[in-house]
Structure 1
Amino acid sequence: MTNVDDQIQARIAEQQRRREERRQRRAELAEARAHGLTARMRTKMRRWDDEDDGQGAA
């Protein structure tokens, strides 16, 4: 291969590496977001239950 071909192959490999890193980062953020939303909804529902309990006792 020529030097130009080597440079092109190196550039392609770097782009693939970056693409994979971005894909991995997006997957990690999506997982963290889903966990955060679930935890937030649990907290919200617990607060609703506490409010309902308080109104029922009054």
Structure 2
Amino acid sequence: MGTCWGGVVSGIDLDLIGIALLDIRDLDQVKEELVKVLLLALSGYLVASRGANRSPLN
């Protein structure tokens, strides 16, 4: 489980996050960007964990 989470986090494009952070001008926008990133990471984690559950090794 930990390896899946690490893969998802490292799979997020840090350049895009950096560009998004440079464009932020107020706190509401910061919150919106963080929510987007967290939802992306969570959805990727759920897909990865489902895929792991389907593998013949489990």
Superposition TM-score tier, normalisation by shorter sequence: 0.5 to 0.7
Structure of greater Rg: 1
What is the number of residues matched between the two proteins? 34
Runs of at least 5 residues in structure 1 that lack an aligned partner in the other structure: 37-58
User: What is the TM-score normalised by the length of structure 2?
Assistant: 0.52
Identity in percent: 3
Runs of at least 5 residues in structure 2 that lack an aligned partner in the other structure: 1-24
Runs (4+) of structure 1 exceeding 2 A deviation are: none
The match for 1:43 is none
User: What is the TM-score normalised by the length of structure 1?
Assistant: 0.52
Say which structure is richer in helix: 1
Compare relative contact order (CA 8 Å, sep 6+) and give the higher one, 1 or 2: 2
